């Protein structure tokens, strides 16, 4: 009898995230709604461009600057919501040379615009801000700004703000549904002995001798999600290479602390191996124009667009551990692969609402096994993804509540990856499955999406109605249970603990022969060719089995 898998260990990578997610459902507040919904004060204007220009003072742990925001008017309104979290302060807002009235409401700030806001017009507003941003408590899961020093005593500073929001350190339209269509400029003034590395390409550096500072100007030409914007400040040295990718030469640049250069030159070979595998499975890297960067940080790492951050101590696995327990997880640097995969799912294809965070994390988790498969073979990839099940809780639905900036269960990582692996078994055609994965990046290129769009695309392109499969794995806490019994050469079977209408096919080996079953919640049966009573569910389906023979 196959054991029913109700697994209790928290996935190690996201232990802190999952632990915080297990608290009892809180009562959502007015501030949660302002942060997580498309309010009327957000809905009437479309982001076009950010020009973010600010100074970082490591000694005082402060930021001061201005964000000039360009937008297009899409409807009649004159009240605009801007987000900036205390203790940061929005000190002034200016349009057409006129200072605007600001109404402060916690993390949200409402500007009253006096200039005509004519539909179709493109306008700008300058947002002046300053303060001491929240210090990251447990980055990247509980983020903010990390103020640390390197082993030489020099400042080593980085941002991380997924979930918490970019407005923890700069003023913006802090909702995932709207990205600046024309990208952004990021200009960061640092002490002259330090370097800032941000998103996109470095277009120039200005020296400010009187202040003993330098300003680093980075240009992003593609749309970018707010939490993907980052600063990394330290005593960086650079090396790089060109990768001959699907869209031509791709600049791959690496920034590490001076003392870690030689270790990085060896370990960062996994960056090209990552690009080889993920371009094969997901299609061309989505940001050739902005390059690919891997940047050392004082925390573990995150998926900042074209500026992937890294803190995995220049070793394989996850801080030296194999999260799958299969042995294959020690064949690669987990952070390089997982965080780089987010360039496709998080930065290229981006969720509109944090409730749909699985779109980012399930695909990134699944990419780990695809990397293993590309370099070590299909059996190895299968073993890896199955091994990650030891981190699944099956405690709460993967999809969270909408419009309040709240994600679902941390199971979105390993359970979401195993859901995708199970769908691959249902499709039962590896080339078609690869085409589905690559097609997602093309169909939703540089777009924000909903769960429904992703579900419908996969169903349509696979030619299989997978709606009940998604309902089961994303919206229920438990997994399907295949109940069965064998008597007199007859195998009886059904699904139990499933959503209404669940009819997912499953492959089993019964009486020594591989067969496909098409269970529903109602009992069905099929004749077997021998008296053998053994039934083994294909382990690449993430389901439980329960032999009720003799009950």
- For the cut 90, the answer to whether the pLDDT of residue 19 exceeds it is no
Alpha helices, DSSP H, located in 139-268: 261-267
Q: For position 6, what pLDDT does the model report?
A: 30
Pairing of β 308-310 and β 292-296: parallel
Query: Could you tell me if 419 and 438 lie in one domain?
Result: yes
**Is the alpha carbon torsion for 101, 104, 105, 107 positive or negative?**
positive
Domain of 430: which CATH number? 1.10.390.10
- Residue 16: which pLDDT band, with cuts at 50, 70 and 90? very low
Provide CB contacts within 8 A for 57, sequence distance 6+. Answer: 63, 64
Cα(252)–Cα(138) distance, integer angstroms: 29
Q: 189 near 213, Cβ under 8 Å?
A: yes
Query: Could you tell me if 514 and 411 lie in one domain?
Result: no
> Which of 230, 260, 292 is the C-terminal boundary of a domain?
230
- Residue 550: which pLDDT band, with cuts at 50, 70 and 90? low
- Residue 549: which pLDDT band, with cuts at 50, 70 and 90? confident
Q: 277 near 307, Cβ under 8 Å?
A: no
Query: Could you tell me if 386 and 509 lie in one domain?
Result: no
User: What digits encode the pLDDT tens for the residues 260-272?
Assistant: 999 999 999 999 9
Cα(174)–Cα(162) distance, integer angstroms: 11
- For the cut 80, the answer to whether the pLDDT of residue 13 exceeds it is no
Q: 404: domain range?
A: 12-27+341-475
Cα(337)–Cα(375) distance, integer angstroms: 13
Closest CA to 494 of 524, 466, 473: 524
Cα(141)–Cα(126) distance, integer angstroms: 31
Query: Could you tell me if 399 and 527 lie in one domain?
Result: no
Residue % of the chain over a pLDDT of 70: 95
- For the cut 90, the answer to whether the pLDDT of residue 298 exceeds it is yes
Closest CA to 224 of 262, 181, 288: 181
Query: Could you tell me if 451 and 523 lie in one domain?
Result: no
Residue 298 counted as domain residue:
no
- For the cut 60, the answer to whether the pLDDT of residue 440 exceeds it is yes
Query: Could you tell me if 506 and 378 lie in one domain?
Result: no
Query: Could you tell me if 57 and 18 lie in one domain?
Result: no
User: What digits encode the pLDDT tens for the residues 484-530?
Assistant: 999 999 999 999 999 999 999 999 999 999 999 999 999 999 999 99
Residue 399 counted as domain residue:
yes
Mean pLDDT value across the chain: 95
Query: Could you tell me if 81 and 167 lie in one domain?
Result: yes
> Which of 183, 207, 230 is the C-terminal boundary of a domain?
230
Cis ω before 87 (30° cut-off from 0): yes
Query: Could you tell me if 526 and 436 lie in one domain?
Result: no
User: What digits encode the pLDDT tens for the residues 410-419?
Assistant: 999 999 999 9
- For the cut 60, the answer to whether the pLDDT of residue 15 exceeds it is no
User: What digits encode the pLDDT tens for the residues 354-394?
Assistant: 999 999 999 999 999 999 999 999 999 999 999 999 999 99
Query: Residues 26-50: what's their mean pLDDT?
Result: 96
**Is the alpha carbon torsion for 388, 393, 394, 399 positive or negative?**
negative
Query: Residues 169-188: what's their mean pLDDT?
Result: 98
Closest CA to 514 of 526, 500, 499: 526
Q: For position 25, what pLDDT does the model report?
A: 53
Residue 288 counted as domain residue:
no
Query: Could you tell me if 72 and 187 lie in one domain?
Result: yes
Half-sphere exposure of 40 (CA within 13 A, CB side): 4
Residue 51 counted as domain residue:
yes
Query: Residues 311-337: what's their mean pLDDT?
Result: 98
- Helices 269-282 and 430-443: crossing angle in degrees, nearest 10, is 100
Percentage helix, strand, coil, to 5, in the chain?
Answer: 30, 35, 40
Bridge partners, residue 70, by sequence: 49, 124
Residue 321 counted as domain residue:
no
- Residue 24: which pLDDT band, with cuts at 50, 70 and 90? very low
Domain of 204: which CATH number? 2.60.40.1730
Retrieve residue 414's tokens: 């390993």
Query: Could you tell me if 405 and 462 lie in one domain?
Result: yes
> Which of 230, 255, 277 is the C-terminal boundary of a domain?
230
Q: How many CB atoms lie within 10 A of CB 207?
A: 11
- For the cut 50, the answer to whether the pLDDT of residue 14 exceeds it is no
User: What digits encode the pLDDT tens for the residues 405-439?
Assistant: 999 999 999 999 999 999 999 999 999 999 999 99
Q: What is the pTM of this model?
A: 0.94
Helix (H, G, I), strand (E, B) or coil at 346: coil
Q: 237 near 268, Cβ under 8 Å?
A: no
Residue 257 counted as domain residue:
no
CA distances from 77 to 40, 104, 125 (A): 9, 18, 15
Domains contained in the chain, number: 3
Retrieve residue 432's tokens: 């078609």
Residue 188 counted as domain residue:
yes
Query: Residues 153-160: what's their mean pLDDT?
Result: 98
Residue 305 counted as domain residue:
no
Q: For position 1, what pLDDT does the model report?
A: 34
Query: Could you tell me if 124 and 218 lie in one domain?
Result: yes
């Amino acid at each position: 009898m196959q054991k029913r898998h109700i697994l209790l260990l928290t996935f190690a990578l996201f232990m802190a995230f999952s632990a915080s997610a297990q608290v009892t459902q809180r009562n959502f507040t007015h501030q949660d709604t302002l942060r997580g919904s498309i309010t009327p004060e957000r809905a009437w204007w479309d982001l076009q461009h950010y020009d973010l220009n600010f100074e970082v003072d490591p000694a005082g742990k402060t930021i001061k600057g201005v964000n000039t925001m360009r937008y297009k008017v899409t409807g009649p309104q004159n009240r605009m919501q801007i987000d900036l979290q205390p203790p940061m302060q929005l000190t002034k807002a200016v349009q057409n040379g006129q200072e605007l009235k600001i109404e402060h409401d916690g993390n949200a700030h409402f500007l009253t615009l006096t200039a005509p806001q004519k539909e179709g017009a493109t306008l700008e507003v300058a947002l002046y801000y300053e303060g001491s941003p929240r210090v990251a408590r447990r980055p990247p899961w509980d983020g903010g700004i990390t103020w640390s020093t390197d082993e030489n005593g020099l400042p080593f500073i980085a941002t991380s703000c997924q979930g918490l929001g970019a407005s923890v350190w700069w003023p913006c339209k802090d909702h995932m549904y709207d990205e600046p269509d024309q990208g952004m400029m990021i200009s960061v003034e640092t002490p002259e002995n330090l370097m800032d590395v941000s998103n996109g390409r470095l277009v120039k550096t200005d020296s400010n001798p009187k202040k003993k500072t330098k300003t680093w100007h980075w240009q992003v030409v593609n749309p970018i999600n707010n939490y993907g914007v980052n600063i990394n400040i330290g005593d960086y040295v650079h090396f790089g290479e060109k990768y001959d990718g699907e869209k031509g030469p791709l600049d791959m640049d690496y920034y590490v602390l001076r003392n870690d250069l030689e270790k990085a030159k060896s370990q960062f070979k996994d960056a090209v191996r990552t690009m080889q595998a993920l371009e094969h499975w997901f299609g061309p890297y989505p940001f050739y124009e902005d390059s690919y960067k891997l940047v050392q940080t004082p925390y573990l790492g995150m998926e900042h667009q074209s500026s992937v951050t890294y803190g995995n101590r220049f070793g394989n696995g996850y801080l030296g551990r194999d999260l799958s327990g299969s042995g294959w997880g020690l064949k690669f640097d987990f952070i390089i692969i997982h965080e780089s995969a987010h360039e496709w799912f998080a930065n290229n294809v981006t969720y509109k609402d944090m409730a749909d965070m699985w779109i980012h994390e399930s695909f990134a988790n699944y990419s780990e096994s695809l990397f293993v498969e590309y370099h070590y073979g299909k059996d190895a990839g299968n073993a890896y993804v199955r091994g990650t099940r030891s981190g699944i809780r099956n405690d709460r639905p993967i999809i969270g509540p909408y419009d309040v900036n709240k994600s679902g269960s941390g199971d979105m990582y390993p359970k979401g990856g195993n859901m995708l692996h199970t769908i691959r078994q249902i499709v039962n055609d590896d080339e078609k499955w690869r085409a589905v994965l690559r097609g997602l990046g093309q169909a939703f290129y540089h777009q924000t999406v909903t769960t429904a769009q992703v579900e419908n695309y996969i169903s349509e392109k696979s030619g299989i109605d997978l709606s009940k499969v998604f309902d089961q794995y994303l919206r229920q806490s438990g997994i399907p249970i295949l109940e069965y019994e064998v008597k007199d050469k007859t195998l009886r079977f059904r699904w139990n603990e499933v959503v209404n209408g669940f009819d997912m096919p499953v492959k089993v080996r019964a009486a020594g022969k591989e067969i496909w079953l098409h269970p529903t919640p109602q009992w069905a049966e099929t004749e077997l060719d021998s008296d053998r009573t053994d039934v083994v569910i294909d382990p690449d389906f993430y389901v439980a089995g329960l032999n009720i023979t003799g009950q």
